[in-house]
Structure 1
Amino acid sequence: MDVPPEPSTRRVFVALAPPDEAKDELARVLQPSYARYPQLRWNRIEDWHITLAFLGELPSTAVPLLRSVLAGRAASHPALHLGLRGGGAFDGRLLWSGIDGDLAGLHLLAADVRELVRSCGIEFTERPLRPHLTLARSRRDDPLSVPEAAAGLAGFVGRPWRAERLHLVGSNISRGPGPIRYRDIEAWRFGAAVGAPGGDGAPAEP
């Protein structure tokens, strides 16, 4: 079987991901909204993530540099205790769930990650950190669905969980109408020595 060629560029970001139990808990709360607002472009549950640094489209040659520095940072950082809480809307069109817990630690980790990326000579547009999970997007002619779905999440408080891995993620760069798909390039366990079992990540792509 032929292996597809390595793309010359990748759209890349660094993120945390809730564990399956936390995602399943939120998905159960969202069931009424899934049924009531089928016209929304709902993100796949497996794609839910908390972006720490969005790096944009990078040459594939930049990925090995990122792997090295991010593995080292994860090895020296403790797991973060977080939770999912409530919901809201950005610009009335993007539905999100908020993040609770050690937000100070989350902001410090994001600042460290961004500094490490810059130390690799990688330029990116730095956006203020607004920790959240993106759940769905509406079309321009639908101004009500996202705010109404967000109101349905107002009282949601998820169980606390530990963010145990730092993820380097690639997304597809298709310009077609289909949804964006995300895939781990590699992930590293927090607090594990580089080279130790479970500490140096497992590449998700050949």
Structure 2
Amino acid sequence: MDVSPESPTLRVFVALAPPDDAKEELARALQPAYTMYPGLRWNRIEDWHITLAFLGELPRTAVPLLQSVLAGQAVSRPALRLGLRGGGHFDGRLLWSGIGGDLEGLHLLAADVRKLVRSCGIDFAERPLRPHLTLARSRREDPVSVPRAAAGLAGFVGRPWPAERLHLVGSNIARGPGTIRYRDIEAWRFGTAARAADDSASAGS
């Protein structure tokens, strides 16, 4: 992945991502909000993710070491069973969907990922884990759309799904106007997900 070829740095985070059908289920529930609040800056559905550790701007030379330790972390852990549910906002400006399911396992995974990153000599700002998908942001002159859109999502409960991969994600570093784009640097199957894929392949051969 090459987000910004001219830059020696990347903005990097470690995350989980819902499967496509779970994201599409939430997108259908958001259709009324898309219509009613077109002035919000809506995130692309392909960029929806659950951040476990936001590492900030790192030199590209740090990426191979992260890839090595995160690969080992993923293969040693089971896939978490999660789901999307409800909605809320931060400070009336950022709209999100909440996460349900194995939250204890999710917090343990995030804590272990953060320890691994620090063991690589990479320092980053420690933020409390508040599992969510960021869906949209409001403009300063619009203080009401995000809370109203969040209220419209309050009753949403999506189907459960296994979080099968751990993702190391990079973004372009937005130093001016324009939309931030996220792309996988690499993603690794969790241990149980990898074994299930192998079993399925064996059964079909």
Scaled by the length of structure 1, the TM-score of the pair is: 0.91
Where in structure 2 are there 5+ consecutive unaligned residues? 199-205
**Once superposed, what is the RMSD of the aligned Cα atoms?**
1.8
Question: Cα gap change, 1:167/1:32 in structure 2, threshold over 3 Å: closer, same or farther?
Answer: same
Matched with 1:169 is 169
Give the deviation of 1:178 after TM superposition: 1.4
8 A contact 1:74–1:192 mirrored in 2: no
Number of corresponding residues: 194
Letter in 1 for 2:60: S
Aligned twin of 1:204:
none
Structure with the higher helix share, 1 or 2:
2
- Tell me if structure 1 keeps the 8 A contact 2:79–2:192: no
Contact 2:22 2:159 in 1 (8 A): yes
CA distance in 2, matches of 1:175, 1:61: 21
Which ranges of 4 or more aligned residues in structure 1 deviate by more than 4 Å?
none
Would you say the 8 A contact 2:42–2:137 is kept in 1? yes
| Deviation of the 1:88 alpha carbon | 0.2
Are 2:37 and 1:18 equivalent residues in the alignment? no
Distance 2:192 2:124 in 1: 28
Match of 1:39 in 2: 39
Which amino acid in 2 is paired with 1:118? Answer: R
One-letter code aligned to 1:39: G
- 1:103-122 residue pairs with structure 2 within 5 A? 103-122=103-122
Contact 2:79 2:193 in 1 (8 A): no
The aligned counterpart of 1:81 is 81
* Cα shift at 1:136: 0.0
Residue matched to 2:97: 97
Establish whether residue 156 from structure 1 lines up as the match of residue 152 from structure 2: no
Structure 1 residue runs of 5 or longer lacking an equivalent are 200-206
Aligned-pair identity (%): 82
Contact 1:171/1:180, CA 8 A, preserved across alignment: yes
2:17 & 2:86 partners in 1: Cα distance?
Answer: 17
Deviation at 1:193, TM superposition (A): 10
